[in-house]
Amino acid sequence: MSGRKGCFNKGMKVLAIVVALLFILVLPLTLLGRDLAVVVFSPARVSGILRSRLLESGFVNNIAAESFLTERWFDEMEFGGGELKPMFQYLSPAEREEILMTLVPPEWVDAQLDNVIHSFFTWIESEQPEPRIAIDLVPLKGGLLKGGLRRTIETLIDSWPSCTTDEIEIMREELMRTGEIPIEVCEPPEPYRTQVLDFAVDELGNLIRGQPDKIPLIDSLDASPAEVTEFKENFLFLRSVMMWGWFLPASLLGVIMILVIRSMRDIGQWWGISLLLGGLLSLAVLGVVSAGRADLVRDTLADFAQMGTPLYRAFEIALLGILVAATRLAFFHASLITAAGLALWLITRQLSKRAKPQIIPEPEPGDFAPTEQVSGIPAPPPVPPLGSGPDDEGGPPSGIFG
């Protein structure tokens, strides 16, 4: 019977070792997946990363300054580029950036970024067949009509060279003939300068008022309702797996407890060592991921956008920011797990040492100390037996009871 019990205990230990190894191997993947899901599937975190990486770093402004109001930009315009190009050719880089900040304020870009991200996640978790993701132009139009447009045209006119005498005469004759002042690419003197400014503000103001309040960014999908539903279900399933995958290693710790843990010392040996090794392996895996995240991003975007384009650079910076945030969070959790495993192992080991009973050797028969004196204190006198006192020698008691 004892032999069967011993084989059973050995089998349980072997099974516990297998479960512990599985825990150590699974922990890095579930830990990284969970922290990556915390970042990727959180609209607030994604907005914060994009804000810091694309907006606050100046990337969006630099890209806009490189492409907006440049000669290439006007050449690529399908309509009106040839007429507008001479008006902007005298702008300095600082003036071009000033106009850019007026036409497209950074706070408006920030608000639209948050709106797009939150609209996407709202659509994912709703039953809408089509996403309703649009750019809100109302704040932009309001800012331009309340003074932004006038400041922009003033900056533009200030960049032009002064008008010659012939150009001023042509301007005066045209104004007297038609009642409208022509816009020449030169800075006219007063009162023509104010008239040109007012005319341009009125014309462009009417054009801005005629623009729609919202521009659909994603209004329809080239997919059937069944495909859209399947995409949403797969997206939500992936989020659930990544968010709650850490329950697998947690349940493996419970299996180890059922199999072999019978005392406090067993907790330190099995849980502590498993957590320690799993945390160390997680730190090693995260180090490899951190070292190769640039290559990982390039491989991910290989078929998505052409390398070197502004769109590719924007996605590259955004994905790198997401990976950096996820790996930092995973490094923190892996360090906590490693420290917890080490502390649990050391504490239970120390407690088990203190709890061990001290075996006192039994004294030999010749080692008994005399009963008359222990530690320098004289032994008490022996108690005489009952009836053996001096008064008992003369027979029966006498006196009042005799």
Tens place of pLDDT per residue across the chain (402 aa): 566 677 878 888 899 999 999 999 999 999 999 999 999 999 889 988 888 887 777 777 777 666 666 666 665 555 445 566 777 788 888 888 888 888 888 888 888 888 888 988 888 888 887 788 888 889 988 988 888 889 998 998 888 888 888 888 888 888 788 777 777 788 888 888 888 888 888 888 888 888 888 888 776 667 777 888 888 889 999 999 999 998 999 999 999 999 888 877 888 889 999 999 999 999 999 999 988 888 888 877 776 666 656 677 778 888 888 999 999 999 999 999 999 999 999 988 887 776 555 555 555 555 544 544 444 455 555 555 545 454 444 455 443 333
Half-sphere exposure of 178 (CA within 13 A, CB side): 8
Residue 145 near residue 95, CB atoms below 8 Å: no
Q: Please give the torsion angle defined by the CA atoms of residues 117, 118, 119 and 120, in that order, rounded to the nearest 10 degrees.
A: 50
The amino acid occupying position 117 is I
Q: Report the C-alpha gap between 272 and 349 in whole angstroms.
A: 10
Give the up-direction half-sphere exposure of residue 130: CA atoms within 13 A in the CB hemisphere.
10
On whether the pTM is more than 0.85, the answer is no
- Give pLDDT, residue 53: 82
- Closest to 114 (Cα-Cα) out of 49, 180, 185, 203: 49
pLDDT at site 147: 86
**Which contacts qualify for 83-87: CB closer than 8 Å, 24 or more apart?**
86/185, 87/156, 87/160, 87/185
CA distance 25 to 29: 8
pLDDT value of residue 393: 47
CB atoms within 10 A of CB 313: 17
